[in-house]
Structure 1
Amino acid sequence: MEWFEQARTAELRRDWDAAIALVSAHAECYSTDPCRHDNHLWHMDLLARAERLSELTERALTDVHARRRLNTSLRERGMEAALRNRAKDGDRGALYVLVQLLCETSRAQEAHRVVQAFGPNDQYAHQIMARFRSPSSGAQ
């Protein structure tokens, strides 16, 4: 599996173009071949690490793995406004990532406002907030 070693070497060198080209040629979303599916996930990770957010954003329209990796990448980069916009546009994954980020940074009230604005009936968003409430805080 020569391409695999070449891709790993390129990845270690941070030669994103080479790594992405090699991996994407052997990647397939939801493939029946688990290796091709794993390569798809690797491809999405490489795109994020290469900071190709526009490509991830485009792929996120139809690819759940790209959407998840994009939202994680936005969080890692502290791009709350982008997460908020994605949540506003109906991306539930972005909503969950944003709510968790707000709760983890002691902004439960802001998280509550975000849930009320973008997913007032979303039970999972409410569960995320509930995990961060302390019994004595009385936070709603």
Structure 2
Amino acid sequence: MDWLERARAAEQLEDWDEAIVLVSAHAECFSDDPDMHDNHLWHMDLLARAERISELTERALTDRHAGRSLNRSLRERGREAALYDRAEDGDRGALYVLVRLMCETGRVQEAQKVVADIGPEDQYAHRIVADGRWT
């Protein structure tokens, strides 16, 4: 069985440690090899599914894929305060995820306040809120 089959099997069994070790050895962000780049995205997804929030947070400082996986994971876990903190620290992706979540859960006024507080000049965030009024 090659590493890919072993990684997929570990993932199926939710043996996150094994899957992460196997995939990370064949992963590279922005590699010229598309398989290495795909493996990097898979690696970030595995970290999120393994709830390795601190590792994703550290990686997110230099890796936008880690940031996206982290923001998605925080949303799935209902960690709005963490998303707010990340948005306040300048992560626009976290701002957009938080604002969408608020709009989707009927809290458009809260979303408007978040945009006003964190991204008053961010036209995309304003557009999310405007679109969210009708969802």
TM score, norm. by length of structure 2: 0.97
> Which residue pairs with 1:102 in the alignment?
102
Question: 1 CA distance for matches of 2:121 and 2:18?
Answer: 44
Question: 2 CA distance for matches of 1:4 and 1:93?
Answer: 31
Does residue 78 (structure 1) correspond to residue 78 (structure 2)? The answer is: yes
Identity level (%):
72
Question: 2 CA distance for matches of 1:36 and 1:101?
Answer: 32
Shift of 1:132: 1.5
Tell me the alpha carbon deviations over residues 54-86 of structure 1, each in whole angstroms, 9 at most, x when there is no partner.
000000000000000000000000000100111
Unaligned runs of 5+ in 1: 135-140
Q: Which has the larger radius of gyration?
A: 1
Shift of 1:133: 2.1
User: Which secondary structure does the structure 2 equivalent of 1:7 belong to?
Assistant: helix
Question: 2 CA distance for matches of 1:58 and 1:68?
Answer: 13
User: Which secondary structure does the structure 2 equivalent of 1:106 belong to?
Assistant: coil
Moved over 6 A (4+): none
TM score, norm. by length of structure 1: 0.94
Question: 2 CA distance for matches of 1:70 and 1:119?
Answer: 20
Tell me the alpha carbon deviations over residues 115-135 of structure 1, each in whole angstroms, 9 at most, x when there is no partner.
00000000110111111223x
> Which residue pairs with 1:137 in the alignment?
none
- The amino acid that maps onto 1:86 is R
The size of the alignment, in residue pairs, is: 134
Unaligned runs of 5+ in 2: none
Question: 2 CA distance for matches of 1:31 and 1:131?
Answer: 36
- The amino acid that maps onto 1:2 is D
Tell me the alpha carbon deviations over residues 10-40 of structure 1, each in whole angstroms, 9 at most, x when there is no partner.
1111111110000000000011111000000
Question: 1 CA distance for matches of 2:75 and 2:13?
Answer: 25
Question: 2 CA distance for matches of 1:58 and 1:49?
Answer: 16
How large is the Cα RMSD of the aligned pairs?
Answer: 0.9
